[in-house]
Structure 1
Amino acid sequence: MALQIELWVEDGGDRLDAYLADQLEDISRSRIQKLISQEQVRVNGTVCTSKKAIVQEEDRIQVTIPDAAPLVLEPEPIPLDILYEDDQLLIVNKPAGLVVHPAPGHASGTLVNALLWHCRTATGASTLSGIGGIQRPGIVHRLDKDTTGAIAIAKTDFAHQHLQRQFHDKTARRDYLGVVYGAPKTEQGTIDAPLGRHPVDRQKMAIVPEEKGGRPAVTHWQIKERLGNFTLINFELETGRTHQIRVHAASIGHSIVGDPVYGSGRSIGVNLPGQALHAWRLRLQHPATGEAIEVTAAPPDSFVKLLEALRKRT
């Protein structure tokens, strides 16, 4: 069965193949170019065979991947910390170490496997939205493997499209708590710096000028607590680029504690499963009722113990 993926363009200006390569991290750019030439990509409902076509803001892109790898996703009884649930959506508090969706090297043990178990019917069928494709059922947005906190899941196609639109229009708001190295001189600020693939290490993101393929990225931050040579900061995303907070924080000289990719590598004497970054609050509109929903996720024990240790030092 072909894999169907649907995307909404937040910011235009990129070539079609470059945009899709940035969005679909598990698919190589050469594979994407081949799909385009094979008429497997539609832009606003029309087949597009030009890899050099420029995507525009508000474009709706549909990608069909024929004969997807025969990966059969099995429901797995992985415990979920459920923050909110009804017949339209589900919000869970994701732990560190849990990959959101299957990818090379992570064919099982993902959040999707857990969701398939939790949302199965009496006949074993899934009640999740299928818009995200075979390997991403119900997935509207993502969190890095070792970033913890609130993540929304769509149970219906209607909810999926509605939530996608909220994230696109920036009416859904995401707040993160992060512990960073150093002490910012001001109490709050905004980082407005475009992000793109690192020019050398393609597994990393970096600040890249828009004229060189970077995409607009804006992060607002405010100090919550000063902890000597460390600081607890609230980050609010205006855009949701891959690794956005981690790259932006590092760019101003205050990388996230425990970040194995963008961090300083300095030891803090506290055992952390990954970066000290937690999505503590998610605000959105219910797709069916229009009700305002605000969900908060308790930080994991490792995050709490880190704060306790740092407070003892000050």
Structure 2
Amino acid sequence: MEKTISDKNNLQVLFEDNHIIVVSKRPGDIVQGDKTGDKPLSEVVKSYLKEKYNKPGNVYLGVVHRLDRPTSGIVLFAKTSKALPRLNKLFQEKKAQKTYWAIVKNAPPKKSDTLIHFLKRNPKQNKSYAHIKEVPESKKAILEYRLLKKLDNYFLLEVDLHTGRHHQIRSQLSAIGSPIKGDLKYGFDRSNKDASIHLHARELKFIHPVKKEEIHIIAPPPDEVLWNNCID
């Protein structure tokens, strides 16, 4: 296990071995290429590996999961074709434990709770709508949250995901009246200056696809005033 920061790509590597690499995504970075044409994080990681190991040809890198562009935190990649299908299966079977931090303006109704909604995605709006009861083409979404800290004007929540739906945390927290700071799409009153939202993939626990030992990753939140108040 090693920790390093590549100044060239401003890449924060949280963990790396022969089979996997875990990095901390900055708000605004995209994990995979899209119609914007912006350089994705996957290509930045490939460049880092190519340079670090002096690889002459193409670098293999498998994308295991994604984070929304305005969010920050842990992203796991596979460095080998052996590891990728095993990691994919792990995530599909929900055997990877993902914990997020979210900063919200309004306190949730309870200090801790399990939220169950049915999310229906609107592809044209790139938005998911949370319903209390099942509606056509909806998917069941479950998360647990707990209030970690009261800040001056905000509240820090810790969220454990039980399902991995499109914009799940953003949609479900909005549905209980606690939209995430900066998330205009889901009801916050103003955007953050850098177009980020205060949602951070904080922890990831999973069994290593080859070594079969538990890996536990914790990502520091972005170096920003509000986030810094969360870890004082």
Contact kept? 1:221, 1:236, Cα under 8 Å:
yes
Q: Please name the residue that 2:78 is paired with.
A: 154
**TM-score, with normalisation over the residues of structure 1?**
0.65
TM superposition shift of 1:210: 4.1
Q: How does 1:61-76 map to 2 (within 5 A)?
A: none
Aligned partner (choices 183, 191, 202) of residue 259 of structure 1:
183
Contact kept? 1:180, 1:254, Cα under 8 Å:
yes
Between 1 and 2, higher relative CO (CA 8 Å, sep ≥ 6) is seen in 2
Q: Secondary structure, in 3 states, of the residue corresponding to 1:150?
A: strand
Q: Please name the residue that 1:306 is paired with.
A: 226
Q: How does 1:157-176 map to 2 (within 5 A)?
A: 157-176=81-100
**Identical columns (%):** 32
TM superposition shift of 1:119: 2.6
Return the alpha-carbon distance in structure 2 between the equivalents of residues 186 and 108 of structure 1: 40
Seen in structure 2, the aligned counterparts of structure 1 residues 86 and 307 have a Cα distance that, compared at 3 Å, is closer
Return the alpha-carbon distance in structure 1 between the equivalents of residues 222 and 137 of structure 2: 36
Return the alpha-carbon distance in structure 2 between the equivalents of residues 210 and 161 of structure 1: 32
Q: Please name the residue that 1:116 is paired with.
A: 46
Name the structure with the higher strand share.
Answer: 2
Seen in structure 2, the aligned counterparts of structure 1 residues 156 and 307 have a Cα distance that, compared at 3 Å, is closer
Seen in structure 2, the aligned counterparts of structure 1 residues 300 and 228 have a Cα distance that, compared at 3 Å, is closer
Aligned partner (choices 207, 211, 218) of residue 285 of structure 1:
207
Q: Secondary structure, in 3 states, of the residue corresponding to 1:233?
A: strand
Q: How does 1:30-69 map to 2 (within 5 A)?
A: none
TM superposition shift of 1:271: 4.6
Amino acid at match of 2:144: H
Return the alpha-carbon distance in structure 2 between the equivalents of residues 307 and 87 of structure 1: 32
Q: Please name the residue that 1:95 is paired with.
A: 26
> Which runs of 4 or more aligned residues in structure 1 lie more than 3 Å from their structure 2 counterparts after TM superposition?
208-211, 270-273, 307-310
Return the alpha-carbon distance in structure 1 between the equivalents of residues 111 and 121 of structure 2: 30
Amino acid at match of 2:16: E
Q: Larger radius of gyration, structure 1 or 2?
A: 1
Q: Please name the residue that 2:218 is paired with.
A: 296
Amino acid at match of 1:240: G
